[in-house]
Amino acid sequence: DVKVTQSSRYLVKRTGEKVFLECVQDMDHENMFWYRQDPGLGLRLIYFSYDVKMKEKGDIPEGYSVSREKKERFSLILESASTNQTSMYLCASKGPTNTGELFFGEGSRLTVL
Amino acid sequence: RKEVEQDPGPFNVPEGATVAFNCTYSNSASQSFFWYRQDCRKEPKLLMSVYSSGNEDGRFTAQLNRASQYISLLIRDSKLSDSATYLCVPRGGFQKLVFGTGTRLLVSP
């Protein structure tokens, strides 16, 4: 069974803290994605990666960075968390075929105080 | 104009009803389209793919109108378990899927 695992389901951080959100997939997928989901705004793409050490900016990369050192792991980093980064963060992976199926993790709900 | 627009709902329907949602998209180059379903406090999951004019899977029918740039999802014989948010997803650039904000469906007994 396919599995995307996000390390933390709930986090509470303070403004200015550095935050790491980890995501691991066990499907040997090349493509991995980080989205954030906010009420009324839907899912917005932050960054994606189509190979190890490769990354591309999504629609809202400001304030975020990512790391893809291994194929199975894609990390989202908030260098200095701000209150407007309070959100649900969803990691997803996708295989190389021309399908639209993203496999999502359960999400990480981040609250920045 | 937003890349994807959906009526947020909620659509309140009784069990057994037929309900349809529309979704409009702005990128005329989009070649493939998807409907995802998201249950409350859960992650989205793929419901259907639409590559040509339409697709049918049991009670669910998706139709694509390229000329008018909209996709529809029809659900027949609604079940309580169909209550969820339905996300319209046109495929944009390389590996990029653009998610709509979703339409919420509530099916009542």
At A99, is the pLDDT very low, low, confident or very high (cuts 50, 70, 90)?
A: low
What is the side-by-side order of every strand in the sheet holding B70-75? B4-6, B19-25, B70-75, B60-65, B54-57
Contacts of B101 (CB under 8 A, 6+ apart): A40, A41, A42, B4, B6, B8, B87
Distance CA B97, CA B90 (A): 6
- Nearest CA to A56 out of A32, A26, A82, A84 is that of A32
- Which whole number is the average pLDDT over A20-49? 93
Q: Residue B107 corresponds to which tokens in the numbers above?
A: 């099916």
| A contacts of B91 (beta carbons < 8 Å) | 100
Q: How far is B14 from chain A (nearest CA, A)?
A: 25
The sign one gets for the Cα dihedral A96, B49, A47, A20 is negative
- Which whole number is the average pLDDT over A58-84? 96
| A contacts of B42 (beta carbons < 8 Å) | 106
> From the candidates B5, B7, B35, B43, which should be mutated to test the interface with A, based on the most A CB atoms within 10 A?
B43
Do the beta carbons of residue B74 and residue B20 sit within 8 Å?
Answer: yes
B6-57 pLDDT per residue, tens: 999 999 999 999 999 999 998 888 878 899 999 998 999 999 988 777 889 9
> From the candidates A46, A60, A104, A109, which should be mutated to test the interface with B, based on the most B CB atoms within 10 A?
A104
B75-87 pLDDT per residue, tens: 999 999 999 999 9
| C-alpha A35 chain-centroid distance | 5
Does any CB of chain B come closer than 8 Å to the CB of residue A97?
A: no
Of B46, B98, B101, nearest to A41 by CB-CB distance is B101
Write out the DSSP string of A67-86.
EEEETTEEEEEESS--GGG-
Distance CA A98, CA A22 (A): 26
Distance CA A100, CA A48 (A): 15
Q: What DSSP designation does A41 have?
A: T
